[in-house]
Amino acid sequence: MPKLIKYTITIVSIFIVTSFASAQVQILDSTQVDSLTFKATREVLNKLPTDKFQKQVFLQAGKQLPYRLLIPKNYTENKKYPLVITFHNSTRIGNDNENQLEPLSKIWIRNEIYDHYNCFVIAPQFNTRSSNYVANDGGILISRPSDDVNLVLELLKNVEKTYPNVDKSRIYLVGYSMGASTAQNIMSLAPQKFAAMVSVAAVPDFSNLKAIKTKNIFLIHGAKDTENPYEGSVELFKMLKNNSSLIFKTFTALDHNNINIPLLLTDEIPKWLFSK
What average pLDDT does the chain have? 92
pLDDT at residue 6, as a whole number:
39
pLDDT digit string (tens) for 79-133? 999 999 999 999 999 999 999 999 999 999 999 999 999 999 999 999 999 999 9
Q: Which helix (H) or strand (E) holds 167?
A: strand 166-176
| C-alpha separations of 227 from 45, 90, 202, 223 in Å | 24, 12, 10, 11
Count Cβ atoms within 10 A of the Cβ of residue 54 and give its class: 0-12 exposed, 13-18 middle, 19 or more buried. Answer: exposed
Exposure class string for 44-53: b at 16+ Cβ within 10 A, else e: ebeebeeeeb
pTM: 0.92
Q: Are 35 and 254 in contact (CB under 8 A)?
A: no
Concatenated DSSP letters for 26-50? EEEE-----HHHHHHHHHHHHTS--
CATH assignment of 15-274? 3.40.50.1820
Selection from 115, 111, 116, 189 nearest residue 156 by Cα = 189
β-sheet with 53-60: strand ranges across: 15-19, 25-29, 246-251, 216-222, 196-200, 166-176, 81-87, 120-124, 63-70, 53-60
pLDDT digit string (tens) for 2-50? 443 333 444 334 444 454 445 679 999 999 999 999 999 999 999 999 9
**Phi, psi (rounded to 5 degrees) for 162:** -70, -35
Q: Are 119 and 72 in contact (CB under 8 A)?
A: yes
pLDDT at residue 176, as a whole number:
98
Selection from 259, 275, 270 nearest residue 115 by Cα = 270
**Position 267, amino acid:** D
Q: From CA 25, how far away is CA 17, in angstroms rounded?
A: 7
